[in-house]
Amino acid sequence: MSESTRLPVLFLTDPVVLPGMVVPVELDDAARATVDAARSSADGRVLIAPRLDDRYPAYGVVATIVQMGRLATGEPAAVLKAEKRAHIGSGVSGPGAALWVEAELVSEPEPTEEVRAQAAEYKKLVLAMLQRRDAWQVIDTVNRMTDPSALADTAGYASWLTDVQKRQLLETPDVATRLTVLTGWITDHLAEVEVTDKIAGDVRDGMEKTQKEFLLRQQLAAIRKELGEGEPDGADDYRGRVESADLPDSVREAALREVGRLERSSDQSPESGWIRTWLDTVLELPWAVTTDDSTDIVAARAVLDADHHGLDDVKDRITEYLAVRSRRASRGMTVVGGRGSGAVMVLAGPPGVGKTSLGESVAKALGRKFVRVALGGVRDEAEIRGHRRTYVGALPGRIVRAIAEAGSMNPVVLLDEIDKIGSDFRGDPAAALLEVLDPAQNHTFRDHYLDLDLDLSDVVFLATANVIDQIPTALLDRMELVTIDGYTEDDKVVIARNHLLPRQVDRAALTDAEVTVTDAALRRIAADYTREPGVRQFERLLAKALRKVATELAQDERPITVDEPDLVTYLGRPRFTPEAHERTEVPGVATGLAVTGLGGDVLFIEASSTGDTAGLTLTGQLGDVMKESAQIALSYVRSHAAELGVDPTALDKAIHIHVPAGAVPKDGPSAGVTMVTALVSMATGRPVRSDVGMTGEVSLNGRVLPIGGVKQKLLAAQRAGLTTVFVPARNEPDLDDVPAEVRAAVDVRPMSDVADIVARALEPAREQVAAA
């Protein structure tokens, strides 16, 4: 600061003036006095200072008066051109009414190379900003500027800087500092402008797209109108479709109500899409479509017999259903109250016995459409009853979709694996099935998505399950239980000959002239290569043998016969052989019978005594009920030791009962008599007969109580080669369901006292043998 001068002060609140700027100033009384004082002075200059707040300004700019005149409104004004910064000192006296101050002019040093580099960088940013605003005339002016200080002071014209920021620039005499500050400010502003421009561009593009789509839709509508074609999914079209559709009155009323809502809603509204989807679903359902049932009972039974061997219980039930329906139709008897004459059955049995395929045969015999609904692993209640329409992506439940897929209101619906549905926080699907499978309620089944009454009373529901214990009691009570037990050895041979072998021969691209499988081979496969109630593994083994036959034929085209001795070549050595004789050679091992989810099975129970300390150890993954059976058995043997011929001291040792295989969980009370027999065998040293099997619950006084699964257990006994089986006397009525060939192969003896079982099951004592 080298030059000092006295100048009149003109305070401005807007704008903040920087050196190099030319600004018009409206003259009020105070401003006029200041301008007049300046014009009357020797140099004719005025000091312009910002007044933004109560703070006395430290810097201002020295300006010359370019022109005097009036504004468009008639008010007096002056045009001032700012030239240099000046530091404002103390007030001094002067002529006129103006305020005079002592001011020191700020000199500008010669810019260094670093300052020029800063100025060049700042100029690039300024030009980028101006190019965004298409200010090409200003760009030319900025391009011609070479003085860094003058370039920095052009920020006084920047509309994006606040008055406070401009005053900061005015009060910053150092050029390098000014350029640094300005570079930061303009960089931030450019980033903000880029984001704003992008948002504005996206909004503009969206609006243009919407306008374009609107115009195209209008043009498309005009074209269709000229061609005489209606809007395919418009509200008018839906109204016509609903009015022409064969719908029940309540459904038509609800559909027309939704059409009215569609007409009042905008095409761009999400609700219109939901309404269209709902109307499409309603119109796709076969509300008035039914198929006529076959009235030929003999032909229907022939269809069932041709597709499946055995399964007489199911076949009889379907035949009875057809007979009643045809009889009611012939006498003109209709159902009252909207309840149809459908059927609800659950086919319970082990895997591979034909439960699922039976559903298609039933539909074919009835002359109805067939649809399968897989329930295995379903945990969401909405899968059955549908989602409410308020949810995004809502759909009707599986029952409604099955009816739509079948295309009729009286199909055969197979609910596969109903025992494998679960429940979690989304609800219990089994509870949702209560209304579906209740003949007294399902004529008014209401899906959450449709929210309309759907008549399911004429539907034949067939459910399949492996374990009925896993089906909730309330749901099982609504279904008619038909138990499908495993096949006998003779049944498997017949099924293989009539069904499995022809199918696998065809799949292997063979003919009957190229390969022959003898009945002896089929019987050997059923006896020694599979140990299952169904025929799935049987069919896999046949497929394996025929694949090897096809491989041989590829090398040598000659007819091949697969007989019993050839099975080792095609299937390897037998996997299953009777083991009861080997397992029961030692005392303390008895053969029991059990039922699992895979059908009947043989269970060996082992008992031994060790040490001198009394106690009972149980192993083999036993459930609580089976553990209690072991304790009951031991208590009975101890209390009836003399009657059973047992030395009481033999039971004072540590008793260990084991049920192989240890990796398989086991539970249930039906092993009680087997545990008693094993304990007596251990204590007396008399082995159990290897051809004997037994089942039954035992009480503390030795009564043999009834159990379940008699038929499956006897089938397992036959497969295991047992010839004598003891069953509870109260299960004797269940023997009527046992196939005749099983009754002929196995001597079934109903018993009521476990002591009688023990006496007949144990081998004679050595003394008795020696005496004989």
Q: Which residues participate in the annotated binding site?
A: 349-356
Angle at the Cα of 494 from the Cα atoms of 490 and 500, rounded to 5 degrees: 130
Q: Which two tokens stand for residue 28?
A: 């009020």
Fold of 489-571: Helicase, Ruva Protein; domain 3 (1.10.8)
**Comparing C-alpha atoms, which of 426, 344, 410, 310 is closest to residue 377?**
426
> Among 272, 670, 681, 690, which one carries the catalytic annotation?
670
Residue whose token pair is 């619950």: 697
Query: Which residues of the chain, if any, have pLDDT below 70?
Result: 1-2, 224, 228-236, 267-268, 334-341, 577-578, 580, 597, 612, 766-772
* Amino acid at residue number 611: G
Q: Which two tokens stand for residue 180?
A: 């640094």
d(CA 342, CA 352): 27
3-state secondary structure of 292: coil
State the pLDDT at residue 337: 41
Q: Which two tokens stand for residue 682?
A: 């251990």
Q: Which residues neighbour 323 within 8 Å (Cβ) at sequence distance 6 or greater?
A: 297
Q: Which residues neighbour 547 within 8 Å (Cβ) at sequence distance 6 or greater?
A: 508
Query: Where in 544-624 does DSSP place strands (E)?
Result: 560-562, 589-596, 599-610, 615-619
Query: Which phi and psi angles does 344 have, rounded to 5°?
Result: -130, 110
Asked if residue 449 lies in contact with residue 457, where contact means CB atoms within 8 angstroms, the answer is: no
Q: Say how many C-beta atoms besides its own lie within 10 A of residue 98's C-beta.
A: 23
Bridge partners of residue 618, in order along the sequence? 657
Pick the CATH number of 3-105 from 3.20.20.70, 1.10.3720.10, 3.40.190.10, 2.30.130.40: 2.30.130.40
State the pLDDT at residue 366: 85
**Greatest CA separation for the chain:** 160
State the pLDDT at residue 728: 94
Burial class (CB in 10 A: 0-12, 13-18, 19+), 383: buried
Bridge partners of residue 104, in order along the sequence? 4, 87
Indicate the CATH number for domain 342-483: 3.40.50.300
Peptide bond into 661 cis (omega under 30): yes
Cα–Cα distances in angstroms (integers) from residue 96 to residues 9, 41, 99, in the given order:
12, 10, 9
Q: Which two tokens stand for residue 598?
A: 């895979």
d(CA 179, CA 188): 14
Cα–Cα distances in angstroms (integers) from residue 615 to residues 609, 612, 653, 654, in the given order:
10, 9, 7, 5
State the pLDDT at residue 605: 92
Going from N- to C-terminal start, the domains of the chain cover 3-105, 235-284, 342-483, 489-571, 580-771
**DSSP label at residue 703:** B
- Chain Cα centroid distance, residue 411: 27
Asked if residue 698 lies in contact with residue 632, where contact means CB atoms within 8 angstroms, the answer is: yes
Q: Say how many C-beta atoms besides its own lie within 10 A of residue 194's C-beta.
A: 11
Helices (H), 133-174: 136-144, 148-153, 163-170
Buried b (16+ CB within 10 A) or exposed e, 278-294: bbebbbebbbeeebebb
Asked if residue 726 lies in contact with residue 761, where contact means CB atoms within 8 angstroms, the answer is: yes
Q: Which residues participate in the annotated binding site for ATP?
A: 349-356
3-state secondary structure of 178: helix
Asked if residue 19 lies in contact with residue 83, where contact means CB atoms within 8 angstroms, the answer is: yes
Angle at the Cα of 579 from the Cα atoms of 576 and 584, rounded to 5 degrees: 165
Q: Which helix (H) or strand (E) holds 694?
A: strand 692-694
For residue 670, indicate whether it is catalytic. yes
State the pLDDT at residue 727: 94
For residue 713, indicate whether it is catalytic. yes
Query: Which phi and psi angles does 206 have, rounded to 5°?
Result: -60, -40
3-state secondary structure of 396: coil
CATH 1.20.1250.20 applies to domain 580-771: no
State the pLDDT at residue 675: 93
